[in-house]
Structure 1
Amino acid sequence: MSTGSVTTRIARLFVHPVKSCAGVEVREAVLTETGLDLDRAWMVVDAQGRFVTQRQLSRMALVRPQIRHSEVVLRAPGMLALHLSIDSVEEPVKVRIWDDEVAAYDMGAVAAQWFTDFLGQPLRLVRFDPDERRGSNVRWTGGAQALNQFSDGFPLLVLGESALDELNVRLAAAGHAPVGIERFRPNIVLAGLPAHAEDRLPQLTIAAGEPVELRLVKPCGRCPIPNVDPATGEVSPHVLATLMQYRRNELIAGKAAFGMNAILVRGVGQTLRVGQQVEAPAAQGSSE
């Protein structure tokens, strides 16, 4: 077992303001106790208040946010821009994400009509209530409290560039076009690791203003969303099928593992930036 460490760096950062809509690539992002600032702060719900995603409505991939100083602007083909004030909400509501019923705020009739028109069924947009305490599964966090907004279950997703490189080699061998990392909706993309080395790193320490420590707690089991082309909203089942050929993981019910869910141990209020150095204990059995 090596007692050394692995050194890498942040290659890319992504914030996804509206759950299951396109992400925004940023050069820097502030860490909050629920992950990167504004990540999954908004969510689309159906008439019963239950969340909807690209799993049901692949055209959500075509909704492209832009983060400005005081607002998030949403654009989609054939639609006028929808401006969301970061500091404004309307009526309090209860909504459901997976098995959690959580407090939120409705974003009003204009936003509801915008999503209804674009996606073709009655929908509303909601904002997470910052007073809500929605925790990650303590089975995976080792009992530590880790809060989320509207992420599926953990505040951060970490993925190495080389994992995507390996997938694209396999796609090419099967006669398929390469895919971009946006399909996998990471928050932090790491450079310079062997493919899937992030699976074996228990924690990351990032050289921000004050040290940031992340704990990698659970492999990310992939649903069909990576099959959705972010540019067109079209579904190509071969992406997940290829992953299942070599990334099936029985620890997560036989799903394809791609990336690691992470929780924040320390560093609330610190700013992550592309290019920052990242240190991690060497994986067991590694000589790196």
Structure 2
Amino acid sequence: MLSSLVEYASSWTGQNTDSDGAAEGTKEIGPMKVSQLFIHPIKSCRGTSVQQARFTSEGLEYDRKWAIIDAETRKVLTARDIPEMVLITPTIEPDPSSPDGGSLTISFPPSSDCAAFSTPLNPSPDMLERWAVLHGLKIWSHTTDGCLVPAPASDVLSAYTKRRVQLVYKGPAPRACDPTRAFPALQATVRYQDGYPLLLVSEEGLEEVGKVIGEWAGKEEGVKMGVGEKWREGKVGVERFRPNIVLKGSGVPFIEDALQEISLLPSKANQNPTAAPISLVAKCPRCLLPNVDPEDGTRDKAVPFKVLMKFRTGLDPENMRSPCFGCNGVPRGDGVVCVGDDVAVTKWLEE
């Protein structure tokens, strides 16, 4: 299926390719732009839509720089474990006059009766020396470290989650990314992201997912699967998939599947970008987390996971049974990305 998509995408031409003109019988890829940007300061908590963001080789600034862990097992917790985590709202409040660069304020739904609190946005080295460093924090098959954010952070979060948890800020030890089939010699590090610094999706891909969900909602088999009538219009918000960069304009559903490297071009929002290229190193296999509604914290029993299983498996040679949506990206340096930036394809995936 992937090779068919690559062949399909390569039969298109346009300003995002190296082609000088369209051959007979081909279609034109529309000009791609960055349509949305999201930062998720605390892993699995509510994301923030932004108009621009700096990035390094470890991802967007402040993205997944904090995490909530189980105080006993030191497992990094997500909405897979506690769906209500998506209702915790971290707000980035920069303050150039502050020695800590500002604050990260964490607030909760009014019904929780949990009081908001703040923690330094950029703790100084002297401050971090006073914070306990916890080792052996577990993310999938990896371990990493974290600096324990002082009170009242862990107490308030424990009251909200109804279990003993702790809030940690990424510690000093680098956490290596796994190599991938397309990048067997990959050398990259990451903070508390699941595996890679960035997640990119396309609006065309999201629209296709919604279309298929709507079709299943009208089928008897879909009803048996749990795709209820409320999904007939197929409206699935992109926030469920927790991306960093959303692309739009190619006209090709799941265009990201066929990309290996993209570059950001000057735009009205970003007149002179110095952004490094972004390598798309692997497909993103999906779990049940997108089934959690970011608006109310409830978990749907079918959407989108069971529907994705029907038409988005077999795309990743290393995860043939997992449905994929979106691609993991690794910036090859520093830069700034803005909503409205033009996106050029500098290398297509070869399979």
Superposition TM-score, scaled by structure 2 size:
0.76
Whichever of the two has the greater Rg, that structure is: 2
Moved more, 88-97 or 143-152: 88-97
C-alpha contact (below 8 Å) 1:10/1:277 kept by paired residues: yes
For these two proteins, the number of residue pairs brought into alignment is: 282
1:202 Cα deviation after fit:
1.2
Distance 1:125 1:167 in 2: 34
Out of 55, 64, 75, the position equivalent to 2:80 is 55
Closer, same or farther: CA 149–104 of 1 in aligned 2, 3 Å: same
Distance 1:282 1:39 in 2: 26
Aligned to 2:26: none
Aligned to 1:237: 301
Distance 1:137 1:73 in 2: 32
The answer to whether residue 133 in structure 2 is matched with residue 92 in structure 1 is yes
Percent identical residues? 29
* Dislocated runs of 4+, deviation >4 Å: 281-285
The aligned amino acid for 1:187 is: N
Aligned to 1:106: 148
Out of 40, 43, 49, the position equivalent to 2:67 is 43
Out of 290, 315, 319, the position equivalent to 1:226 is 290
The answer to whether residue 179 in structure 2 is matched with residue 138 in structure 1 is yes
Distance 2:67 2:118 in 1: 15
Superposition TM-score, scaled by structure 1 size:
0.92
The aligned amino acid for 1:92 is: V
The answer to whether residue 248 in structure 2 is matched with residue 248 in structure 1 is no
- 2:75 is paired with a residue of what secondary structure? coil
Aligned to 2:249: 192
- 1:38-79 deviation per Cα after TM superposition (whole angstroms, max 9, x unaligned): 110001100221111111100001111111101111111132
Distance 1:211 1:148 in 2: 18
Aligned to 2:259: 201
Aligned to 1:280: 345
- 1:170-223 deviation per Cα after TM superposition (whole angstroms, max 9, x unaligned): 222213151200000000000112110110011101125224201111110001
- 2:323 is paired with a residue of what secondary structure? strand
C-alpha contact (below 8 Å) 1:19/1:53 kept by paired residues: yes
1:247 Cα deviation after fit:
0.5
1:283 Cα deviation after fit:
4.7
1:281 Cα deviation after fit:
4.2
The aligned amino acid for 2:178 is: N
1:80 Cα deviation after fit:
1.6
Distance 2:213 2:339 in 1: 28
The answer to whether residue 216 in structure 2 is matched with residue 159 in structure 1 is no
C-alpha contact (below 8 Å) 1:102/1:132 kept by paired residues: yes
Query: Structure 2: which 5+ residue stretches go unaligned?
Result: 1-9, 19-28, 95-101, 218-228, 266-271
- 1:109 is paired with a residue of what secondary structure? coil
The aligned amino acid for 1:263 is: V
Distance 1:124 1:135 in 2: 23
The aligned amino acid for 1:158 is: L
